[in-house]
Structure 1
Amino acid sequence: MHLLKSILIVISITALAVVLEAVTLSSVNKLDNINTNFQEQSVNYQNYDKDITLSQIIYDEKSTKGLMSLIISNEETTFKYLDHKKFIQDVYQRKTYRPIWFNNKGLNKEALYDLFDHISNDNTLEDSGPLKTKYKALKQKISKIKERSIEKELKLDLQLTSLYRSYMGHHLFGSIKWWDFQKKLTSMRRRGSAGDWVVNSPKYDIADMLLRHRLSYIVSLTTPSSFNYQALSNELSRLRTVQRQGGWKKIPASSQLRSGKSGATVKQLVLRLHSEGDYTCSIDKKTFTYDNCLKKAVKRFQKRHGVSQTGTLTNTTRKKMNTSVDWKIKKILLNLDRIKRLPDQAEDRYIMVNIPDFRLYYTNNGKEELTMRVIVGDKTHHTPIFSNKISFIVLNPYWLIPDSIVQKEMIPGILKNPDYLEQRGYEVRKNYALKRPPMDTSKIDWAKVLRTGQTRKYKFMQPPGPRNALGKIKFKFPNRFAVYLHDTPGKKLFKKYPRAFSHGCIRIAEPNALLATFAKHERSVNYGRAKTILKGKTKKQLNLANHVPVHIIYLTARVKSDGLVHYLPDVYGYDAKQNRSIH
């Protein structure tokens, strides 16, 4: 019996060789390039199981011949209406031109249903979008199959592989048109407004994923676990349900919606805030009153939507409450896509600064250990979006003033006021060596320096002291944008909201608290000794043995530690600039 099987395998391979010989010269060249020559095909029989059936051998021979014809010989026709040509060519070459979704017994239902279930249940996809439309069309085609046709099966196999690639592209990378957004940032910089966003681009071998693993396993492994992605996704699911039910009923302007009042409109408000997670008291009651519990709920809603927390249903609050569910869904989808392109944190300790939040968060072992207010770049000096690692801390720092500020602010200030530098405690040197005294600037023709573009010859700086723009401490993570975290003498600005006032660096409200937190985990930072140094004016650099990751992000909808979604101001207008492909 084993001898008969071996003979059949040899006959099948011989037949395959005859097919290959009959391919046109151009097709042969393509075969050479794709590295699927006869010698490689001929060793496939070594991989067959000893109990292989004759029907499987015949099916493999026919399907290989058919797939090679579709992908190579009839390439132009096959890919006229089929996406992901290069991916399909690569994955079937790896598969030695055998089907992925069908075999000699028929459809691989387990793999197919895994794909279909994920597409069907993915709330980030639009019901009328191209991905779900293709999925529904293929599902209908497959449901109508009554008799097997290898030609039809092979075409379906290619279409299913194309669908898989489309879905995985969406799942892994999101739908933001990053190339279009980067063009807008470039245009913005040309007009004089600084703005940068470094997009994390993880490398995935999607062909290997398809050939080696179940989709459910891949999805569980690659769904972001950081930045509360799953909680935000759960809120999207809830909002999709509200959307399918026609949205929420608008809260009217009513005299009932005042402290101490009762009635049907108050009940409507309570139920709405309860569904959002803001109202935490019992709703199992006959009479609904605008009491303290409802006031707290209104305050919580106001906090989450950037409205003054009064507990009173103001017109602004009611307007936010009546924002359409479609608007919120769109906002969450955009921010889920942003999280997909952020580093998926594996760090025990890290710092996160969310620009629209105007806050810093220090997390250790999954717990939020410290949070504080921050001041970020203004509307013409955007704080860049990127990740890095804090490698050292400077006590009593010098402020080395960037040339852009020298050109736009310092020299124009000197030209208007000869005492400009002295009044602000600035120094000018030939280099950053501090051993020699500062230059005598009274003899310098600053108008000529500015006119002839010689500003880089002069190093403007501000020595340590109470007026220093960096305050008493700075936390450095060297980067091409020259931004960092630092103290500031201008504490009053932390009371304002929003807080976009800097030239791009991030001013922190509680630098000593952050330094003390570093000292808990870093031997090179002795907090008691640092406090003594900070009383003087001597610069001291503390190099960290363990660098701390810092993520500067831009999320306008995110789940905070209270478990609720907060909708934050689009301070730089990036929401409008980032377009998504509809999937």
Structure 2
Amino acid sequence: MKHSFCIFFILAFTLIVTTTSCKKKIENDQVEVPVTLNTIEVTFDSIQIKTFFTKYPDLEKYQSEVKQLYRKHQFRYIWFDQDGLNEFSSLLYNKVNNLNSEGVQTSIPYKNILDTIYSNPQKNQKANVNTELLSSSLYFFYVDKVYKGIDKQKSKELGWFLPRKKQSYIHYLDSLLIDPSLINKKGKGVLEQYYLLKDILVKYQKIEKKGSLETIIIDSKIKSFKPGDSIATIAQIRTYLFHHDIITSDSKSSIYDDKLATGILEFKRINGFAINKTILPKHIRYMNVPIAQRIKTIMVNMERCRWISNDVIKAKELIVVNIPAYELTFFRDGKPELKSNVVVGKTLNKTVIFSAPMKYIVFRPYWNIPASILKKEILPAIEKNPNYLQQHNMEWKDDFVRQKPGSSNSLGLVKFLFPNSDAIYLHDTPSKSLFERDNRAFSHGCIRVAKPRELAAAIMKNDSKWDRDKIDAKMENGDEYWYVLKNKFPVYIGYFTAWVSPEGVVHFYDDVYKRDDKLAALLFENKAQD
């Protein structure tokens, strides 16, 4: 009898252990709930999710993500622990109430209900399905506004064809519930530039609270102001610097003294101007831009940052062109190795915002003239002047016209190809004087580079078969020569009218293609719809 009982006990124990292990494995494989997640072991009926969104229709757009979240957690409460609402729920509520500091102007759905819940946390110690689902919806609302931005289709309608980032915020929530401080960690899923702009935004919002200033008078007869000059405009400039916390006091003096000079040097440093004591009309025009306009510009560019994954900077090599800045930067190992002025497409031939991998460098290229230019410019010129092709070093090639290689070629002596459907590429140009202008939107859409030799050398720096002498030789002599890059790398053509350097220097650029107002209208229009 004892022997039979022992056998039965062993079999039963083995069955229990095996069943428990399998159950744990299934739960771990399917649910992936972190073992350190401090939640209560209480569940609710899945049908209550549908009921909730019927009751709260303004949150309905988050229903799919909320369903996925609770399916992942087997419909357990995740916003409650043994003491009631958990730490992260309150932090999230505070974050949502301060969306303005994130560059977001929007109304908060069901704010009065949320205020009641979070202003009386002691009354919400017992798990409640409405509070639970409101908290989850609030999380996805915050993610939507701060991390995601407007949807992909709308950004495309605004001419933005750079790839949008892809990231799951359902799994990210587990990390935040375990360590709420992670929500304040910079760089999580958002371009680092976002946080630099955010710091500038907070600064400008503080300035805005001080009130507006009178427009600084610009006398068209005066070309510059220098130390020692005395004029009423100097007093206005001094007030501007004091209002913006660049100098510590405002003497109201109209004399350009040493204290003002110190302020002017700092003003130029933090705003990206050449650092000297001379005040030019362009500096005064910069000062006269209303602070509200600056804030709008910063918010618009924070929105653009939401569309780009922080992973782009992980590429070993990378070219970035910022159209409004008329600037190209070549990065290696995350650090800028070369900067060059560029000329971009004029308003009627806008340079497209997109990305593609750099694959070829072509020395002494032919310029195969696009059909549109051939029809609108070349053929009419030939009719007027039969010697036009010869005079411009051009020739017919089958049924199109091309310009032969050489120093007068419109593409210069080298071009950089990252094949794309818009036929946009980087190239040299014989028209070097254009790089000295402030406004450099002159091309038919391609991007002219002020430092093409240096760019070729930077790209081929680690190729043992190439050096500066060989690059120069290929540019100056011989026929067209195509070189296939061993290591392809991404080229990003972007559009940012506000950009902050790692040192905190903010640069505002002219909205050359008038894109800011269109995006701002969409963002602030949504405020009334939320």
TM norm structure 2: 0.78
Q: Which runs of 5+ in 2 are unaligned?
A: 1-25, 220-224
Structure 2 residue 57 is matched with structure 1 residue 80: yes
Letter in 2 for 1:230: Y
Asked whether the equivalents of residues 388 and 550 of structure 1 are also in contact (C-alpha less than 8 Å), the reply is: yes
Alignment of 1:330-345 (within 5 A): 330-344=296-310, 345=313
- 1:228 is the counterpart of 2:204: no
How many Å separate the matches in 2 of 1:541 and 1:271? Answer: 58
Equivalent residue for 1:328, pick from 294, 297, 303? 294
Confirm whether residue 510 of structure 1 aligns to residue 423 of structure 2: no
Matches within 5 A, 1:29-178: 60=42, 63-65=43-45, 68-72=46-50, 74=51, 77-83=54-60, 84-103=62-81, 105-125=82-102, 129-131=106-108, 134=110, 137-144=113-120, 153-174=128-149, 176=150
Q: Who is 1:311 aligned against?
A: 278
Superposition RMSD in Å: 3.9
Mapped pair 1:380 → 2:380: no
Change (3 A) 1:111 1:147: closer
Percent identity, aligned pairs only, is: 29
Name the amino acid aligned to 2:345: G
Residue 401 of structure 1: aligned partner = 369
Name the SS of the counterpart of 2:170 in structure 1. helix
Structure 2 CA distance for aligned equivalents of residues 221 and 292 of structure 1: 39
Unaligned runs of 5+ in 1: 1-39, 186-195, 431-457
Q: Which residue of 1 aligns with 2:210?
A: 246
From 200, 218, 223, the equivalent of 2:163 is 200
Letter of the aligned partner of 1:357 in structure 2?
A: A
1:546 Cα offset (Å): 2.4
- Range with bigger deviation, 204-213 or 86-95: 204-213
Say which of 347, 352, 363 aligns to 2:315.
Answer: 347
CA distance in 1, matches of 2:206, 2:125: 41
| Conservation of the 8 A alpha-carbon contact between 1:172 and 1:223 | no
For the pair shown, the structure with the greater C-alpha radius of gyration is 1
Q: Provide, for residues 254-281 of structure 1, a one-character-per-residue CA deviation record: whole Å limited to 9, x for no partner.
A: 99x874257998577447437758x6xx
2:511 alignment partner, SS class: coil
TM-aligned CA deviation for residue 76 of structure 1:
6.5
Mapping of residues 486-501 of structure 1, within 5 Å: 486-501=427-442
Scaled by the length of structure 1, the TM-score of the pair is: 0.72
Confirm or deny that 1:179 pairs with 2:153.
yes
Aligned amino acid, residue 173 of structure 1: K
SS in structure 2 at match of 1:497: coil
In structure 2, relative to structure 1, the CA distance for the partners of 1:425 and 1:209 (3 Å cut) is same
Structure 2 residue identity aligned to 1:210: L
Tell me by how many angstroms 1:201 deviates.
1.9
Distance in 2 between residues matched to 1:126 and 1:374, nearest whole Å:
30
C-alpha contact 1:233 1:336 (8 A) present in aligned 2? yes
Structure 1 contact 258–313 (Cα < 8 Å) conserved:
no
CA separation in 2, counterparts of 1:113 and 1:382? Answer: 46
Q: Is the 8 A contact 2:323 2:493 kept in 1?
A: yes
Classify the secondary structure of the residue corresponding to 1:552.
strand
**CA distance in 2 between partners of 1:391 and 1:266 (Å):** 53
Alpha-carbon separation, structure 2, partners of 1:127 and 1:201? 19
* Equivalent residues, number: 481
CA contact (8 A) 1:307 1:317 kept: no
1:416 Cα deviation from its structure 2 partner: 3.3
Q: Please tell me the residue identity of whatever aligns with 2:393.
A: G
Q: Deviations over 1:208-227 (max 9, x none)?
A: 22245435425636546756
CA distance in 1, matches of 2:266, 2:309: 30
| 1:354 partner amino acid | N
Distance in 1 (alpha carbons) for counterparts of 2:104 and 2:486: 51
